[in-house]
Amino acid sequence: MVDDNCHGLSARKCILEEFGYEVVVCTDPVRALAEFSKAAFDLIITDYKMPGMDGLQLIRKVRETNAAIPVILISGFVEALGLTEENTGSNAVVQKSANEVQHLVRAVTRLLRKKAPRKPVSSVRTAPPLKAKSKGVS
């Protein structure tokens, strides 16, 4: 998780840890990229406004290394800048607001949810066809 606002960062970290997630925090985007290159992460959460590099630049650098990793962009400028998943390269965009925690937890849960493997068609049992009984009318 990368954020320029340390108090907000600590609060988000505590909330996600209460939900059982292990959180690694970096307050500097360059350090975050270094951590990302050393270890495997399941998800990245970044702020838009940071010193030295904005969230969009960080997302681009992450995508160069691992295009499949889910990324959540958090910003107080979502509406003002028109930030969306399509124009940021993120998987979710969360507006800093009174509802931010709910939206963040929902996005994290959705992006980390493991899809249950589908059973092959051959293993799906179907009911035997019904045989129609006809009664003779006399």
d(CA 45, CA 132): 60
The amino acid that residue 112 corresponds to is L
pLDDT band at 131, cuts 50/70/90? very low
- Give the mean pLDDT of 52-65: 94
Q: What pLDDT sits at residue 114?
A: 61
SS3 assignment, position 26: strand
Q: What pLDDT sits at residue 11?
A: 87
What is this structure's pTM?
Answer: 0.77
Q: Mind listing the domains of the chain with CATH numbers?
A: 6-113 (3.40.50.2300)
**Does residue 121 register a pLDDT over 60?**
no
Distance linking the first and last C-alpha atoms of the chain: 81
- Give the mean pLDDT of 77-100: 94
d(CA 124, CA 102): 38
What whole-number percentage of the chain has pLDDT above 70? 77
What whole-number percentage of the chain has pLDDT above 90? 62
Q: What pLDDT sits at residue 91?
A: 96
